[in-house]
Amino acid sequence: MESYNYNTFKELGIDNIFVQDNISKSSKGVLRGLHFQKDEYAQAKLVYVLRGAVLDITVDLREDSETFGKYVAVELNDKNKQMLFIPRGFAHGFLTLEEDTEFIYKCDNFYNPKSEVGIIWNDRDLNIDWNLDKYNIKEKELIISEKDKKNITFKEYRRGK
């Protein structure tokens, strides 16, 4: 099965050249994000699930956009085989919904830790509905890295720009 073909995506208006692939393997209840890289290190991503399921969240951080500060939530899994393209200028996060979930994301720019920013997953202004009840996951059971627990708020991000 072909998972990616540049020409097919180019016909759809996505002509990004992906330079790095990342694979994340996680148990149920792992929450990552909301991550992005700034300035010349910004990344577009193409994400999909190889095994398991995720709730994928993207937040528009493009200040000149009509959807600035709004989010989209999409369930990606190994049954629907959908992919999500995330343009540069968006924050990205996900919640794993099944054990042993393998999540792949292709990036069009290399990882640069000095340009990485994280916005806290439960930011009050963004008010993201992670659908924890729907997926039978309790907030106290979420597995969040120490790094992601220290992410800044959306207001702090906007002040720091």
**Distance from CA of residue 131 to its chain's centroid?**
16
* Cis peptide bond upstream of 12, omega within 30: no
Active-site residue flag, 35 = yes
User: Which secondary structure element, helix H or strand E, spans residue 149, and what is its range?
Assistant: helix 146-149
* Tokens representing residue 133 in the block: 């009840």
Active-site residue flag, 157 = no
Closest CA to 106 of 2, 12, 17: 17
Which of 41, 105, 111, 157 is the catalytic position? Answer: 105
Which of 35, 71, 92, 157 is the catalytic position? Answer: 35
Q: CB of 123 within 8 A of CB of 7?
A: no
* Tokens representing residue 152 in the block: 């800044």
The catalytic residue positions are 35, 105
